[in-house]
Chains A and B, each alone.
Chain A
Amino acid sequence: MAHHNLSPRQYTILALVAICAPTGDTCLSRGMTNLPAISLAHPATLIAAVFTPWIAAGIALLIGFFASYLTALSWADLTFVLPATAFGNVIVALFARFWLHESISLERWAGIALITLGVGFVARGPSLTERPVAAEAAHSSAEVEEAQPR
Protein backbone atom coordinates (compact mmCIF):
# COMPACT_ATOMS: atom_id res chain seq x y z
CA MET A 1 0.00 0.00 0.00
CA ALA A 2 1.13 3.54 -0.73
CA HIS A 3 1.75 6.01 2.07
CA HIS A 4 -1.04 8.35 3.06
CA ASN A 5 0.44 11.52 1.60
CA LEU A 6 -2.16 13.91 0.21
CA SER A 7 -1.40 17.51 -0.77
CA PRO A 8 -3.47 20.44 0.63
CA ARG A 9 -5.09 20.71 -2.81
CA GLN A 10 -6.16 17.07 -2.63
CA TYR A 11 -7.60 17.59 0.86
CA THR A 12 -9.54 20.58 -0.52
CA ILE A 13 -11.00 18.38 -3.27
CA LEU A 14 -12.07 15.76 -0.68
CA ALA A 15 -13.63 18.55 1.43
CA LEU A 16 -15.56 19.81 -1.62
CA VAL A 17 -16.86 16.27 -2.22
CA ALA A 18 -17.99 16.06 1.43
CA ILE A 19 -19.71 19.49 1.43
CA CYS A 20 -21.31 19.60 -2.04
CA ALA A 21 -23.00 16.17 -1.80
CA PRO A 22 -24.98 16.75 1.43
CA THR A 23 -25.85 20.33 0.50
CA GLY A 24 -27.12 19.10 -2.87
CA ASP A 25 -29.07 16.25 -1.22
CA THR A 26 -30.68 18.72 1.18
CA CYS A 27 -31.79 20.96 -1.71
CA LEU A 28 -33.23 17.89 -3.49
CA SER A 29 -35.09 16.84 -0.36
CA ARG A 30 -36.50 20.33 0.13
CA GLY A 31 -37.65 20.38 -3.49
CA MET A 32 -39.11 16.85 -3.51
CA THR A 33 -41.04 17.19 -0.25
CA ASN A 34 -42.70 20.34 -1.64
CA LEU A 35 -44.11 18.24 -4.50
CA PRO A 36 -47.13 15.95 -4.28
CA ALA A 37 -46.38 12.21 -3.96
CA ILE A 38 -45.03 10.76 -7.21
CA SER A 39 -46.05 7.23 -8.23
CA LEU A 40 -44.26 4.78 -10.54
CA ALA A 41 -47.31 5.00 -12.84
CA HIS A 42 -46.31 8.58 -13.78
CA PRO A 43 -42.50 8.60 -14.09
CA ALA A 44 -42.57 11.72 -16.31
CA THR A 45 -43.37 13.82 -13.23
CA LEU A 46 -39.84 13.01 -12.00
CA ILE A 47 -38.42 14.63 -15.15
CA ALA A 48 -40.57 17.73 -14.60
CA ALA A 49 -39.29 17.93 -11.01
CA VAL A 50 -35.75 18.51 -12.35
CA PHE A 51 -36.75 22.02 -13.51
CA THR A 52 -38.02 23.30 -10.15
CA PRO A 53 -35.64 25.78 -8.37
CA TRP A 54 -34.65 23.64 -5.36
CA ILE A 55 -34.06 20.55 -7.50
CA ALA A 56 -32.08 22.60 -10.06
CA ALA A 57 -29.90 24.06 -7.24
CA GLY A 58 -29.40 20.55 -5.86
CA ILE A 59 -28.34 19.31 -9.29
CA ALA A 60 -25.86 22.22 -9.69
CA LEU A 61 -24.26 21.32 -6.34
CA LEU A 62 -24.18 17.64 -7.26
CA ILE A 63 -22.38 18.52 -10.53
CA GLY A 64 -19.73 20.30 -8.38
CA PHE A 65 -19.60 17.18 -6.23
CA PHE A 66 -19.18 14.94 -9.27
CA ALA A 67 -16.30 16.98 -10.74
CA SER A 68 -14.44 16.85 -7.40
CA TYR A 69 -15.29 13.17 -7.00
CA LEU A 70 -13.89 12.24 -10.43
CA THR A 71 -10.69 14.17 -9.69
CA ALA A 72 -10.30 12.35 -6.35
CA LEU A 73 -10.88 8.96 -8.00
CA SER A 74 -8.05 9.65 -10.44
CA TRP A 75 -5.47 9.64 -7.60
CA ALA A 76 -7.07 7.60 -4.80
CA ASP A 77 -8.84 4.25 -4.30
CA LEU A 78 -12.63 4.10 -4.46
CA THR A 79 -12.59 2.47 -1.01
CA PHE A 80 -10.67 5.52 0.29
CA VAL A 81 -12.66 8.28 -1.43
CA LEU A 82 -16.14 7.04 -0.50
CA PRO A 83 -15.55 6.79 3.28
CA ALA A 84 -13.72 10.12 3.25
CA THR A 85 -16.85 11.67 1.77
CA ALA A 86 -19.20 9.98 4.25
CA PHE A 87 -18.48 12.73 6.77
CA GLY A 88 -21.18 14.49 4.80
CA ASN A 89 -23.67 12.39 6.80
CA VAL A 90 -23.03 14.62 9.78
CA ILE A 91 -23.67 17.68 7.62
CA VAL A 92 -26.91 16.09 6.33
CA ALA A 93 -28.06 15.42 9.90
CA LEU A 94 -27.40 19.04 10.86
CA PHE A 95 -29.24 20.32 7.77
CA ALA A 96 -32.14 17.92 8.35
CA ARG A 97 -32.43 18.95 11.99
CA PHE A 98 -31.99 22.71 11.75
CA TRP A 99 -33.15 23.57 8.22
CA LEU A 100 -35.78 20.95 7.32
CA HIS A 101 -36.87 20.66 10.99
CA GLU A 102 -36.89 16.85 10.89
CA SER A 103 -36.59 15.13 14.27
CA ILE A 104 -33.50 12.98 14.81
CA SER A 105 -33.57 10.43 17.65
CA LEU A 106 -30.63 9.63 19.92
CA GLU A 107 -30.22 6.28 18.12
CA ARG A 108 -29.85 8.04 14.78
CA TRP A 109 -27.28 10.41 16.28
CA ALA A 110 -25.40 7.32 17.60
CA GLY A 111 -25.55 5.78 14.11
CA ILE A 112 -24.16 8.95 12.57
CA ALA A 113 -21.38 9.00 15.19
CA LEU A 114 -20.41 5.38 14.37
CA ILE A 115 -20.37 6.12 10.65
CA THR A 116 -18.13 9.12 11.27
CA LEU A 117 -15.83 6.94 13.42
CA GLY A 118 -15.58 4.39 10.60
CA VAL A 119 -14.83 7.15 8.14
CA GLY A 120 -12.06 8.51 10.37
CA PHE A 121 -10.60 5.01 10.55
CA VAL A 122 -10.29 4.74 6.77
CA ALA A 123 -9.13 8.31 6.30
CA ARG A 124 -6.08 7.66 8.52
CA GLY A 125 -4.94 4.83 6.23
CA PRO A 126 -3.24 4.83 2.82
CA SER A 127 -5.16 6.43 -0.04
CA LEU A 128 -4.07 4.27 -2.96
CA THR A 129 -3.36 0.57 -3.49
CA GLU A 130 0.24 0.25 -4.60
CA ARG A 131 0.58 -1.77 -7.78
CA PRO A 132 3.91 -3.66 -8.01
CA VAL A 133 6.10 -1.83 -10.54
CA ALA A 134 7.40 -5.08 -12.05
CA ALA A 135 3.89 -6.45 -12.48
CA GLU A 136 2.74 -3.19 -14.08
CA ALA A 137 5.74 -3.16 -16.41
CA ALA A 138 5.07 -6.77 -17.41
CA HIS A 139 1.40 -5.94 -17.93
CA SER A 140 2.29 -2.91 -20.09
CA SER A 141 4.78 -4.84 -22.21
CA ALA A 142 2.24 -7.64 -22.70
CA GLU A 143 -0.28 -5.04 -23.88
CA VAL A 144 2.29 -3.58 -26.31
CA GLU A 145 3.06 -7.05 -27.68
CA GLU A 146 -0.62 -7.76 -28.15
CA ALA A 147 -1.07 -4.46 -29.98
CA GLN A 148 1.84 -5.10 -32.37
CA PRO A 149 1.14 -7.17 -35.51
CA ARG A 150 3.08 -10.44 -35.61
Chain B
Amino acid sequence: MTHPSAWSAVAMIAAMVLLSTTGEVLTAAAMKSIGDLDDIRAHSGLKGAIRAVVTCPLFFAGVSFLALAFFSLLFALNHLNLSLVAPAGASLTLVTNAIAGKIFLKENVDRRRWTAAVLVCVGVYLLAH
Protein backbone atom coordinates (compact mmCIF):
# COMPACT_ATOMS: atom_id res chain seq x y z
CA MET B 1 0.00 0.00 0.00
CA THR B 2 1.49 3.36 -1.08
CA HIS B 3 0.80 6.61 0.79
CA PRO B 4 -0.49 9.24 -1.67
CA SER B 5 -0.70 12.96 -0.84
CA ALA B 6 -3.90 14.42 0.62
CA TRP B 7 -4.70 16.09 -2.73
CA SER B 8 -4.33 12.81 -4.60
CA ALA B 9 -6.70 11.16 -2.12
CA VAL B 10 -9.22 14.01 -2.56
CA ALA B 11 -8.97 13.76 -6.37
CA MET B 12 -9.49 9.98 -6.32
CA ILE B 13 -12.54 10.22 -4.05
CA ALA B 14 -13.99 13.24 -5.96
CA ALA B 15 -13.75 11.43 -9.32
CA MET B 16 -15.43 8.38 -7.79
CA VAL B 17 -18.25 10.47 -6.25
CA LEU B 18 -19.01 12.52 -9.39
CA LEU B 19 -19.06 9.49 -11.69
CA SER B 20 -21.15 7.55 -9.21
CA THR B 21 -23.69 10.39 -8.74
CA THR B 22 -24.17 10.79 -12.50
CA GLY B 23 -24.65 7.03 -12.86
CA GLU B 24 -27.07 6.77 -9.95
CA VAL B 25 -29.25 9.68 -11.06
CA LEU B 26 -29.47 8.27 -14.60
CA THR B 27 -30.22 4.78 -13.25
CA ALA B 28 -32.88 6.09 -10.84
CA ALA B 29 -34.52 8.04 -13.69
CA ALA B 30 -34.49 4.85 -15.80
CA MET B 31 -36.08 2.74 -13.04
CA LYS B 32 -38.80 5.33 -12.41
CA SER B 33 -39.59 5.40 -16.14
CA ILE B 34 -39.84 1.59 -16.18
CA GLY B 35 -42.16 1.34 -13.14
CA ASP B 36 -42.39 -0.99 -10.13
CA LEU B 37 -40.29 -4.09 -10.93
CA ASP B 38 -42.30 -6.22 -8.48
CA ASP B 39 -45.50 -5.42 -10.43
CA ILE B 40 -43.81 -6.09 -13.78
CA ARG B 41 -42.50 -9.41 -12.50
CA ALA B 42 -45.96 -10.36 -11.22
CA HIS B 43 -47.42 -9.70 -14.70
CA SER B 44 -44.62 -10.76 -17.05
CA GLY B 45 -42.34 -12.94 -14.90
CA LEU B 46 -38.62 -12.50 -14.24
CA LYS B 47 -37.78 -12.47 -17.96
CA GLY B 48 -40.28 -9.68 -18.52
CA ALA B 49 -38.76 -7.64 -15.69
CA ILE B 50 -35.22 -8.17 -17.03
CA ARG B 51 -36.40 -7.28 -20.56
CA ALA B 52 -38.03 -4.07 -19.27
CA VAL B 53 -34.73 -3.02 -17.67
CA VAL B 54 -32.29 -3.97 -20.44
CA THR B 55 -34.38 -2.34 -23.20
CA CYS B 56 -34.25 1.07 -21.50
CA PRO B 57 -31.50 3.29 -23.08
CA LEU B 58 -31.32 5.52 -19.98
CA PHE B 59 -30.39 2.45 -17.93
CA PHE B 60 -27.33 1.80 -20.12
CA ALA B 61 -26.23 5.42 -19.83
CA GLY B 62 -26.44 5.07 -16.04
CA VAL B 63 -24.62 1.73 -16.02
CA SER B 64 -21.81 3.19 -18.17
CA PHE B 65 -21.16 5.90 -15.58
CA LEU B 66 -21.44 3.39 -12.74
CA ALA B 67 -18.85 1.21 -14.51
CA LEU B 68 -16.46 4.18 -14.71
CA ALA B 69 -17.17 4.85 -11.02
CA PHE B 70 -16.36 1.18 -10.26
CA PHE B 71 -12.92 1.35 -11.92
CA SER B 72 -12.19 4.62 -10.11
CA LEU B 73 -13.12 2.76 -6.89
CA LEU B 74 -10.67 -0.06 -7.72
CA PHE B 75 -7.95 2.52 -8.39
CA ALA B 76 -8.67 4.31 -5.09
CA LEU B 77 -8.68 1.02 -3.13
CA ASN B 78 -5.24 0.27 -4.56
CA HIS B 79 -3.86 3.43 -2.90
CA LEU B 80 -6.09 4.16 0.12
CA ASN B 81 -7.58 2.26 3.09
CA LEU B 82 -11.02 0.66 2.69
CA SER B 83 -12.19 2.28 5.95
CA LEU B 84 -11.64 5.71 4.32
CA VAL B 85 -12.64 5.02 0.69
CA ALA B 86 -15.90 3.12 1.23
CA PRO B 87 -17.57 5.34 3.87
CA ALA B 88 -16.26 8.64 2.39
CA GLY B 89 -17.32 7.65 -1.13
CA ALA B 90 -20.74 6.37 -0.05
CA SER B 91 -21.44 9.35 2.22
CA LEU B 92 -20.35 12.10 -0.17
CA THR B 93 -22.38 10.38 -2.87
CA LEU B 94 -25.39 10.65 -0.55
CA VAL B 95 -24.98 14.45 -0.34
CA THR B 96 -24.39 14.97 -4.06
CA ASN B 97 -27.34 12.68 -4.78
CA ALA B 98 -29.62 14.71 -2.49
CA ILE B 99 -28.75 17.81 -4.56
CA ALA B 100 -29.00 15.99 -7.89
CA GLY B 101 -32.22 14.23 -6.82
CA LYS B 102 -33.87 17.55 -6.04
CA ILE B 103 -32.67 19.27 -9.23
CA PHE B 104 -32.87 16.51 -11.83
CA LEU B 105 -35.36 13.95 -10.44
CA LYS B 106 -37.64 16.55 -8.76
CA GLU B 107 -37.68 14.47 -5.57
CA ASN B 108 -39.09 16.08 -2.44
CA VAL B 109 -35.86 16.46 -0.46
CA ASP B 110 -37.43 17.69 2.79
CA ARG B 111 -35.87 19.00 6.00
CA ARG B 112 -35.40 15.45 7.30
CA ARG B 113 -33.33 14.46 4.26
CA TRP B 114 -31.23 17.66 4.32
CA THR B 115 -30.54 17.15 8.05
CA ALA B 116 -29.38 13.66 7.25
CA ALA B 117 -27.10 15.09 4.54
CA VAL B 118 -25.53 17.53 7.06
CA LEU B 119 -25.02 14.77 9.64
CA VAL B 120 -23.35 12.68 6.97
CA CYS B 121 -21.10 15.61 5.95
CA VAL B 122 -19.87 15.99 9.54
CA GLY B 123 -19.43 12.24 9.68
CA VAL B 124 -17.29 12.33 6.55
CA TYR B 125 -15.18 15.16 8.00
CA LEU B 126 -14.51 13.06 11.08
CA LEU B 127 -13.78 10.00 8.94
CA ALA B 128 -11.22 11.89 6.87
CA HIS B 129 -9.25 12.87 10.00
| A interface with B by C-beta (< 8 Å) | 1, 9, 21-22, 25-26, 28-29, 32-33, 35, 37-38, 40, 46, 49, 55, 62, 70-71, 73-75, 77-79, 81-83, 85-86, 88-89, 92-93, 95-97, 100, 102, 104-105, 107-108, 110-115, 117-119, 121-122, 124-125, 129-130
Contact = CB atoms under 8 A, between A and B. Distances in A.
* B-side interface size class: 35 or more
Contact of A83 (B34, B38, B75, B116): B116
A117 B95 CA distance: 15
Interface in B85-106: 85-87, 90-91, 93-94, 97-98, 101-102, 105-106
Contacts of B27: 70, 73
B81 A79 contact: no
B94 A96 contact: no
Nearest to A29: B82
A83 B94 contact: yes
Contact of A37 (B2, B28, B98, B115): B2
Given A121-B115, A125-B113, 6 more contacts: A29-B86, A62-B70, A73-B32, A74-B36, A111-B126, A124-B112
B25 interface: yes
A33 B77 contact: yes
Interface in B1-52: 1-2, 24-25, 27-28, 31-32, 34-38
Given A88-B90, A129-B107, A73 B1 contact: no
Nearest to B118: A118
B31 A89 contact: no
Contacts of A122: 112-113, 116
Contacts of A26: 82
Given A32-B74, A46-B74, A122-B116, A78 B86 contact: no
A124 B112 CA distance: 9
B91 A38 contact: no
